[in-house]
Amino acid sequence: MKDARRSFLLEVPHEPLAAGLAFLRHARFLLLDDCSVKIHGALSPLTEQQVWSRPNDATNSIGNLALHLAGNVRQWLISGVAGAPDKRDRPSEFAARETMTKAELLALLDITLAEVDDVLANLVRDLETTSSDKPLQREINPQGYPQTVLDAIFHVTEHFSYHTGQIVLLAKWQEGAAIRFYNDGELAGRA
């Protein structure tokens, strides 16, 4: 697991980047170095039962949200952008009840995000090779909806961030102060 206490901000690049490259840089950071760290940190103190606990029947468990994130990012980026077969069973992501351990859920997310990072790294190479943002304008059809590659990546990063917040909230609801990402004293010294 990455260090959950590290800064969740990107450092300024040494040289200005083209817009497409800057966008991909931030998407990769958000998925791998921000959301992933927060999900690992949020799940760390939880029991297996807490990972699958639901506050009520209309609310997903952390386990369901983790399965949903892996399914969504795979469908939109690994299948939609990179062209891998789309085998997603979205309803099963929400119907699951204690089907995987916490370690298995985290491993699934890690493996999926590593594959996503390969997709995004290939796009970076395409942008650098073509000296153009044109690869981000290619039309794809995740879930049958026409999108550009850029729109799909934007959707996935926003969606991933949104559900990461839900996971953190559900974890804090159960474990409170055991889940911390920032040193408020250190942040106060930066003001």
> What mean pLDDT is reported for the chain?
91
Phi, psi torsion values for 186, nearest 5 degrees: -65, -40
Domain ranges for the chain, please list them: 19-188
For residue 118, the tally of other CB atoms under 10 A from its CB is 13
Which architecture does CATH list for 19-188? Answer: Up-down Bundle (1.20)
For the segment 105-164, what is each residue's pLDDT rounded down to a tens digit? 999 999 999 999 999 999 999 999 999 999 999 999 999 999 999 999 999 999 999 999
pLDDT of 177 reads 83
For the segment 73-111, what is each residue's pLDDT rounded down to a tens digit? 999 999 999 999 999 999 899 999 988 999 999 999 999
pLDDT band at 181 (very low <50, low <70, confident <90, very high): confident
Q: Is the pTM of this model over 0.85?
A: yes
For residue 128, the tally of other CB atoms under 10 A from its CB is 12
Q: Nearest-CA neighbor of 153 among 109, 112, 123, 129?
A: 123
pLDDT at 39 over 70: yes
Can you tell me whether residue 67 is helix, strand or coil? helix
